[in-house]
């Protein structure tokens, strides 16, 4: 008993159309919302890409600038190597290195300490910014633990404050540094340690890798230059000194004598010249052997060196003959110095290979006294000393003749 209502087809169609339209509009709105979200995301992504692109460009530019800066520094160091190779004085080499570090890296404090093979002490050759007294204490007795310097001395490797961040064991080293040290670099010639560079601050902004690269090149060139300077000093020493006794040789002593003669003539001041001969030296060689003779030559030379060092120079004139240049004293004033030498040699007991040896010397003494000998020539002074020497030998030996 349901009432039958007439169906309105137009109304039904309209409702269905409206429902479909609403569905379409809803989907369209969702699509638009999604599109708007994607657009915003794309915009953010584009902005992010722009930022990353700008950052990459800046990074490339900075990297390029850094590479150019490091390249220019390495060029400077290469030029430094050429300049160092032309300098053969060790102290000048070291001063040149320190000043280049100041100018190249803006180093605030720097010291270059050198080490010789036979020595266990470092020597402060040149520094700036540091206390000299503290550097001197740092240089002595490397068996004591003195922070970075001792570590570099033992390990032959560089160390810096950067290393403390990566190795807690090294933190204690920094506290032992007697002076502020930011970076410590060994100067190595092959495996031989010839010195150590210490610096406090670098005003240029550099990474640890950059510092290591620069200092590695710098120290290599520096070590070679120092070694070359030392070799030249050895060659120079060999050219002016007697190989057996270490005293000046005849040639160099005569050059010194000429220079001193000109100087004292100009200044109107006196000097004395003594010639010594070891008595009966041939008999010593024939009786005890040439090794004993060489031993006596070296012992007498040591006495002469020690006795004359505060007054002038000693030289081996040839064979068993020696000469002494006594500056600023006429022969009467120099007589006490020469007499002390004669007594010391005569009173010394020399022991060699279970042999007890004795030695005496005969001495001739002459001088240049501007108050008495204004026009005298150098050859006359030498000849006078030589004649007095032979007078001493011919009148009993172990004595001094001055008249």
pLDDT tens digits for range 154-203: 889 998 888 877 777 777 777 888 888 888 899 998 888 899 999 988 87
pLDDT value of residue 341: 96
Give residue-wise pLDDT tens across range 230-263: 888 888 888 899 999 999 999 999 999 999 999 9
pLDDT band, residue 340 (cuts 50/70/90): very high
| Spans of all domains in the chain | 84-239, 250-401
pLDDT band, residue 1 (cuts 50/70/90): very low
Pick the CATH number of 250-401 from 1.20.1730.10, 3.40.50.2300, 1.10.10.10, 3.30.70.270: 3.30.70.270
Predicted local distance difference test score (pLDDT) of residue 306:
95
pLDDT of residue 81: 66
Q: What is the 3-state secondary structure (H, E, C) of the chain?
A: CCCCCCCCHHHHHHHHHHHHHHHHHHHHHHHHHHHHHHHHHHHHHHHHHHHHHHHHHHHHHHHHHHHHHHHHHHHHHHHHHHHHHCCCCHHHHHHHHHHHHHHHHCECCEEEEECCCCCCCCEEEEEECCCHHHHHHHHCCCCCCCCHHHHHHHHCCCEEHHHHCCCHHHHHHHHHCCCCCCEEEEEEECCEEEEEEEECCECCCCCHHHHHHHHHHHHHHHHHHHHHHHHHHHHHHHHHECCCCCCECHHHHHHHHHHHHHHHHHHCCCEEEEEEEECCHHHHHHHHCHHHHHHHHHHHHHHHHHHHCCCEEEEEEECCEEEEEEECCCHHHHHHHHHHHHHHHHHCCEEECCEEECCCEEEEEEEECCCCCCCCCHHHHHHHHHHHHHHHHHCCCCCEECC
Q: What is the pTM of this model?
A: 0.64
Tell me the average pLDDT across 30-53.
70
pLDDT of amino acid 37:
75
Fold for domain 84-239? Answer: Beta-Lactamase (3.30.450)
Question: pLDDT-based confidence at 3, cuts 50/70/90?
Answer: very low
pLDDT tens digits, 360-385:
999 999 999 888 877 889 999 999 99
């Amino acid at each position: 008993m349901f009432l039958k209502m007439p169906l309105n087809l137009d109304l039904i169609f309209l409702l269905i159309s409206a429902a479909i339209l609403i569905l379409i509009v809803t989907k369209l709105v969702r699509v638009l919302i999604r599109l708007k979200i994607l657009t915003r995301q794309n915009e953010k992504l584009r902005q992010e890409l722009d930022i990353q692109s700008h950052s990459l460009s800046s990074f490339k530019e900075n990297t390029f600038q850094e590479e150019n800066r490091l390249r220019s520094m390495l060029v400077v160091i290469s030029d430094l190597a050429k300049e160092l190779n032309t300098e053969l004085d060790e102290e000048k080499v070291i001063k040149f290195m320190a000043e280049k570090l100041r100018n190249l890296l803006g180093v605030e404090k720097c010291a270059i300490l050198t080490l010789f093979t036979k020595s266990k002490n470092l020597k402060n050759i040149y520094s700036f910014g540091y206390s000299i007294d503290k550097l001197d204490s740092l240089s002595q007795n490397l068996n004591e633990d003195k922070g970075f310097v001792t570590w570099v001395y033992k390990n032959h490797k560089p160390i810096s404050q950067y290393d403390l961040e990566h190795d807690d064991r090294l933190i204690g080293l920094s506290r032992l540094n007697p002076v502020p040290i930011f970076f410590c670099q060994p100067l190595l010639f092959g495996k031989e340690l010839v010195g150590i560079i210490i610096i406090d601050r670098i005003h240029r902004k550099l990474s640890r890798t950059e510092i290591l690269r620069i200092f590695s090149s710098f120290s290599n060139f520096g070590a070679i230059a120092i070694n070359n300077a030392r070799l030249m000093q050895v060659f120079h020493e060999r050219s002016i000194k007697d190989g057996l006794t270490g005293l000046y040789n005849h040639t160099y002593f005569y050059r010194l004598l000429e220079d001193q003669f000109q100087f004292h003539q100009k200044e109107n001041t006196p000097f004395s010249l003594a010639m010594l001969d070891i008595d009966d030296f041939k008999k010593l060689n024939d009786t005890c052997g040439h090794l004993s003779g060489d031993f006596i030559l070296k012992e007498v030379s040591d006495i002469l060196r020690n006795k004359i060092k505060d007054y002038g120079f000693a030289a081996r004139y040839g064979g068993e003959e020696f000469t002494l240049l006594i500056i600023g004293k006429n022969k009467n004033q120099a007589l006490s110095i020469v007499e002390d030498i004669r007594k010391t040699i005569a009173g010394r007991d020399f022991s060699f290979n279970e042999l007890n040896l004795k030695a005496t010397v005969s001495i001739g003494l002459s001088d240049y006294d501007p108050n008495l000998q204004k026009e005298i020539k150098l050859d006359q002074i030498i000849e006078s000393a030589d004649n007095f020497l032979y007078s001493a030998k011919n009148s009993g030996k172990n004595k001094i003749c001055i008249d």
